[in-house]
A and B are shown apart, each in its own frame.
Chain A
């Protein structure tokens, strides 16, 4: 026994003990528990939302998503760093916006990168897209937004015929052809690849743009049907009847209460509270007055060490 241990345990009676045997027994117990749970219940594995599925099942949702980007109405418009230069869009607490400290590290222009660029790539296979793309690019931003907004409004009366979206006649410019091009691209299964194609490398390890494309109403509709939206404690839920990441409850709980629940700066407010209350305080808890006295006041220790106290030592 080391010098330090002799000092620590001086005067304390000891008993025989087998560390390795205890470890092996606990490992056996844990293994049996995990194997039984896995064999009985399996694991959740709800499939991803793919563009081809959305184009087939909800073609209007795909087209509406793309048209909102052309209209400048995407959630990414005005998002701020790391995607856009709109510094005013960054969340703030006490006037401090940490997102602005590091600037735009992953620039994303929603209309350009998530709609027009994929269509540009698709036009190599579908030449009928070339003229609408040229017409759209030739128009000014105001005209482009006006066409897209009018088209979005008309989608309320749209129908699907022969695999194409048909809207009542109106001043939409080339937007209907472009949106049917997006629908066709989605249906073909090539949209995700067209969104990610960077031209720099052949490997697809970063699906950021494909994930951002459907992050709005489409993902929310699926998540809503699975009871996984933010107002249902969001990401601490699991798909299907399985336990989720319950260890994140303290974090997701903060999104359910004012002011975070309605605040435009809610994410940053939650992060600040988590860093202080759930990271720094637990880490330095032994030095925090009052909190370090709680073990005295709630005598769980009497149960843990009951045999010691029963000895009357």
Chain B
């Protein structure tokens, strides 16, 4: 058994270089709706880049120094653009019934990435170390505690919040987005809904 050869065959069957980095696209890929996912992805790139700078220089810098405050603003508006693009992406993929023809794993990986991104957003607000963080920490703890999560995650524990936001959650998001992108490129863009006859739920199977 040659593992390398087996892996080559898996790639040949599922994801060639042309699939991963396509130079041709089906003609129906012809709408702004196809750019929202790319917008969310590039906002994520911007968030990671500005986040690395914020993490490198630390809270005093981004609270007190003009350049630090500007990078803080880049991160803040990056989050707004990220979630706006993501909301449009999910909205349009829903109305395209993009889960058809066996694409539920792609849908699920995207949804899981979205849920983790929501948690990353919460930890980001908590990690700001300003009144917003203070207020959200004491307010959000009640729902977390009521659900039994208080013994695992304490939104008032800055050490836990900061490491989750800066290290753990970005890695999880990048991994899930990676799976999402591989599945997208493996399966190609979903065919347009037929104007009559086809059920939107078909293909989830």
Contacts and interface: CB of A to CB of B under 8 A. Distances in A.
B193 A295 contact: yes
Contacts of A106: 150-151, 154
Interface string A99-118: 11111011000000000000
Binding site of A, secondary structure by majority: helix, strand, loop or mixed? helix
A262 interface: no
Nearest to A101: B148
Contacts of A226: 131
Interface in B2-46: 11-16, 18-19, 21-31, 33, 35, 38-39, 41-43, 45-46
A16 interface: yes
Contacts of A287: 104, 201, 204
Contacts of B178: none
Contacts of B192: 301, 305, 308-309
Contact of B77 (A38, A101, A247): A38
Given A267-B142, A295-B193, A295-B200, A12 B27 contact: yes
A42 interface: yes
A300 B128 contact: no
A5 B188 contact: yes
A199 to B, nearest CB: 17
Given A17-B23, A238-B132, A247-B83, A102 B16 contact: no
A16 B129 CA distance: 49
Contacts of B166: none
Given A294-B200, A300-B92, A8 B131 contact: no
Interface of A: 1-5, 8-9, 12-20, 22-23, 26-27, 29-31, 33-35, 37-39, 41-49, 81-83, 90-91, 98-103, 105-106, 205-208, 211-212, 214-215, 219, 222-223, 226, 228, 230, 234-235, 238-239, 242-243, 245-248, 265, 267-268, 270-271, 279, 282-283, 285-287, 289, 292-296, 298, 300-301, 303-309, 311
8 contacts: A4-B14, A26-B41, A43-B69, A43-B75, A98-B146, A205-B157, A282-B111, A305-B193
